[in-house]
Amino acid sequence: MTLVLFVQHLANGLITGGLYALVAIGLSLIYGVLRIINFAHGEIFAVGAYVGFFLWRVLGVPLPLAFVGAMVGTAAMGVAAERLVFRPLRFADPLNSMISAIGLSFLLQNLILQVGGAEPRRLDPFMSGVLLVGPIALPLQYLFILGLAGVLIAAIEVYLRRAWNGLALRASSQDLGTAALMGVSIDRLARVTFAAASALAAAAGVLVGSVFLLQPTMGVSMAAKCFVVVILGGVGNLPGAIVGGLVLGVAESLAVAYVSTALRDVVAFVVLIVALLFRPQGLLRGA
């Protein structure tokens, strides 16, 4: 019985971890390529969730289409944010783009509050039903989320390895200046980076909304956790972000189950301090 419970908690942790990974990949990508600490990334995640909710609830779009619509719409918003908020500061002191990001997060959070209202919202689950594996009950919805997160992460990995833009992105994250000299258009690269990062965050937003609740401030704690994930995995390291997300999700789930629910939000930060002290280079990088 205890083993069953343990597996159940493990599964819950993996789901949350998968969602962390989706958001953290974008954060890591933006930092890796453009050296921007995007404090507004949590709000982009929240915008994605609300766009999905709006399409589904107000316009009556079927849920899977609303999911895709949210990704596309939020990607467009990410591109606009890059153009208006970050591009003018590309060659300024990095502190300035940090402030700009904080301003953007203020702006988006309050826009969501005004357009979406303060009350928590919820989306329908994508799937109902339970898969029984021996004595362990796994809701299909959870499996679906984990699967979808996996597919999206695999897609971005393949994109980064195969597509020309992906190669350019990886080259630029190593050396932006040289990449520019080799004919990579930095403007185009910044667009692609923000579009991909925002689309992934939106996907996570809609998925979160189908399990938990949508709230205007939902991006704040998500962003905080994802900073931890990014550090844990190694800044700019995408497989690291995935591993970091899963590790954090599982650690939280187990701490809540076996120690205390009050610990949920501390776990991330204790993990972070420990990681910074002992493996500041990230879990996946050799010493």
Partner 1 sequence: MLAESSHRWPWLLLLAVAVVGPPLTGEPYVAHLMVLGSLSALLAVGLNVALGFAGLFSFAQGAFYGIGAYVSALLVLSSGAGFWTAFLAAGVAAGLAGLLLGLLTIRLGGHYLAIATFAFQEIVIVVIRNWDSVTKGPLGLSGVPGPAPLALPGLPPLEFQSELAYYYLALAVLVLAVAVSWRLRTSQIGLELLAVRDDEVAARAMGVRAVQLKIFAFSASAVLAGLAGSLFAHYVKNVSPESFAVATSFAVLVSVLVGGLGTIMGPVLGGIALTFLPEYLRVFQEHRFTIYGALLIVVVIALPGGVAGGLQTLARRWRARAQAARP
Separation CA 95–CA 51 (nearest Å): 30
From the list 75, 76, 101, the residue with the least C-alpha distance to 88 is 101
**Closest distance of CB 116 from partner 1, Å:** 13
Per-position x/- string for 20-59, each x denoting binding to partner 1 as judged by CB under 8 A, each - no binding: -----------x-----x-x--------------------
247 binds partner 1 (CB under 8 A): no
Q: Give the residue, chosen from 65, 131, 182, 273, that forms a contact with partner 1 under the rule CB under 8 A.
A: 273
Separation CA 246–CA 19 (nearest Å): 9
Separation CA 76–CA 123 (nearest Å): 22
70 binds partner 1 (CB under 8 A): no
Q: Give the residue, chosen from 24, 46, 228, 238, that forms a contact with partner 1 under the rule CB under 8 A.
A: 228
Choose between 174 and 260: whose C-beta lies nearer to partner 1: 260
Cβ(250)–Cβ(239) below 8 Å: no
Separation CA 28–CA 12 (nearest Å): 24
**The one-letter amino acid at 252:** E
CA distances from 259 to 6, 113, 116, 147 (A): 13, 34, 36, 29
259 binds partner 1 (CB under 8 A): no
Strand partners, 76: none
Q: Give the residue, chosen from 61, 68, 76, 111, that forms a contact with partner 1 under the rule CB under 8 A.
A: 111
**The one-letter amino acid at 9:** H
**Cα 215 to the center of its chain, rounded Å:** 16
What is the torsion angle, in degrees rounded to the nearest 10, for the CA atoms of residue 239, residue 241, residue 247 and residue 248?
-170
Per-position x/- string for 194-223, each x denoting binding to partner 1 as judged by CB under 8 A, each - no binding: --------------------------x---
Interacting residues with partner 1 between 112 and 131 (CB under 8 A): 113-114
DSSP state letters, 207-237: HHHHHS-B-TTHHHHHHHHHHHHHHHH-TT-
Cβ(257)–Cβ(9) below 8 Å: yes
Of 80-88, 162-170, 208-216, 237-245, which part binds partner 1 (CB under 8 A)?
80-88
Choose between 133 and 274: whose C-beta lies nearer to partner 1: 274
Choose between 68 and 263: whose C-beta lies nearer to partner 1: 263
Q: Give the residue, chosen from 59, 64, 80, 96, that forms a contact with partner 1 under the rule CB under 8 A.
A: 96
**List of residues contacting partner 1 (CB under 8 A):** 31, 37, 39, 84-85, 88-89, 92-93, 95-96, 98-100, 102-111, 113-114, 220, 224, 227-228, 231, 235, 262, 265-266, 268-270, 272-273, 276-277, 280
